[in-house]
Amino acid sequence: MEMGIVVGRLTATRKDENLVGSKLLITQPIAIDGSYLSHPIVTVDTVGAGVGEKVIFVKGSMASRSTHNKEAPIDAAIVGIIDSIDT
């Protein structure tokens, strides 16, 4: 699992039929101190996250398992909203 912050929302009127109804968010990966890592990625929201929220996301095969439609072509999915971080 990785941490990120939702920085935007993506709308795609034409997409794979297995993604119809999925909410797509732009997520910026972050380090434990909140600094940005790499480039923002497109994630499928499975928990009702919104712009500005810190989230937990998964990539790869775990991402496609986190949705109801296992056939959906998903590389990254938000699986949790972070309430607090204690280090």
Helix (H) or strand (E) holding 61: helix 61-65
> Domain of 40?
2-51+68-81
User: Residue 14 — pLDDT band, cuts 50, 70, 90?
Assistant: very high
Is 57 a domain residue? no
The confidence score (pLDDT) of residue 34 equals 92
Residue 45's domain is classified under what CATH number? Answer: 2.40.50.220
Side chain identity at residue 43, one-letter code = T
Length of the chain: 87
Is 62 a domain residue? no
pTM: 0.93
Is 75 a domain residue? yes
Is 46 a domain residue? yes
Q: How far is 39 from 18, CA to CA, in rounded Å?
A: 25
Pairing, β 54-59 against β 2-10: antiparallel
The confidence score (pLDDT) of residue 68 equals 79
Is 25 a domain residue? yes
78 contacts 56 by C-beta, under 8 angstroms: yes
Number of domains in the chain: 1
User: Residue 64 — pLDDT band, cuts 50, 70, 90?
Assistant: confident
The confidence score (pLDDT) of residue 74 equals 94
Is 60 a domain residue? no
Is 58 a domain residue? no
